[in-house]
Structure 1
Amino acid sequence: MEKTIVIDGREVKLKSTGATALRYKAQFQQDFFNDLFKLVKGGKVGEDGKVDPSTIESMDFEFFYNFTWVLAKQADKKIEDPLTWLDSFDSFPIMDIIPEIQDLLYKTIQSKKK
């Protein structure tokens, strides 16, 4: 699944593939699903895609930065390492980005029933 979002006035192409969880682990030496489940325990995202403010303090936003980089890297192999890429933006409004990447996250963990 591919999607283009706007970050800091710049169009950024994102792509979710079957390798998303493995690329995450290869880059960050963290298990994608463990990090995701820690996040689920810590904070709640409503049906509208917005983070419940009462749970924000217990959330680890590093997951979203890392996941967004993985999606961007899969769409464009020329993207540099995560910190260099993030430094290329004047602002990276993660609270606005989370709803934009939510469907790509679901696509990564979704199962198909037969």
Structure 2
Amino acid sequence: MEKTITIDNKEVTFKSTAATPLRFKAQFHKDYFAEIIKLNRLNKFKDAKDNFEMLENADFEIFYNIIWVLAKTADNSIPDPITWLDGFDEFPLFQIIPEIQDLIASSIQSKKK
């Protein structure tokens, strides 16, 4: 699955393949699926009053790492995460995540037969 979105006036393509979890492990030395499960814990915060608690419990590094690995899967020429992120003046995380959540979901879901 692949999707292109605009971030800071730059077209960025994201892709999820069977190799995405392995690429994530090779770069970050963490299990891709375990990191996704950590994000799922944030779903328990549904009300606006829970926003502060959600932010306290969120590890935003996970978001940046997942975004990077999906971009790297689409374009192998992308540099290391910090160098790549330094190329953006603005990186609206809370606008990017909803755009790529289907890619994240596709990497952990199976297709029904």
Q: TM-score range by the shorter chain?
A: 0.7 to 0.9
Amino acid at match of 2:37: F
Tell me the C-alpha RMSD between the 2 structures: 1.7
Q: Distance in 2 between matches of 1:15 and 1:45?
A: 27
Give the percent of matched residue pairs that are identical in Structure 1 and Structure 2.
Answer: 59
Instruction: Give the aligned partner of residue 34 of structure 1.
Output: 34
CA deviation vs aligned residue, 1:60-86 (integer Å, no higher than 9, x gap): 111111111111111111110000000
Aligned to 2:13, what secondary structure does the other structure show?
Answer: strand
Q: Decide whether aligned partners of structure 1 residues 92 and 109 sit closer, same or farther in structure 2, where only a CA change above 3 A counts.
A: same
Q: Decide whether aligned partners of structure 1 residues 11 and 62 sit closer, same or farther in structure 2, where only a CA change above 3 A counts.
A: same
Instruction: Give the aligned partner of residue 78 of structure 1.
Output: 77
TM-score by length of 1: 0.87
Q: Distance in 2 between matches of 1:37 and 1:90?
A: 29
Q: Distance in 2 between matches of 1:112 and 1:40?
A: 20
TM-score by length of 2: 0.87
Q: Decide whether aligned partners of structure 1 residues 45 and 84 sit closer, same or farther in structure 2, where only a CA change above 3 A counts.
A: farther
Segments of 4+ moved more than 6 angstroms:
none
Q: Distance in 2 between matches of 1:23 and 1:45?
A: 29
Deviates more, 1:56-65 or 1:23-32: 56-65
Q: Distance in 1 between matches of 2:100 and 2:44?
A: 12
CA deviation vs aligned residue, 1:23-67 (integer Å, no higher than 9, x gap): 1111100011111112212x1289xxxxx7352321111111111
**Structure 2 gap ranges (5+):** none
Match of 1:53 among 51, 67, 71: 51
Aligned length: 108
Q: Distance in 1 between matches of 2:99 and 2:111?
A: 22
Higher RCO (CA 8 Å, separation ≥ 6 residues): 2
Q: Which structure has more helix as a fraction of its residues?
A: 2
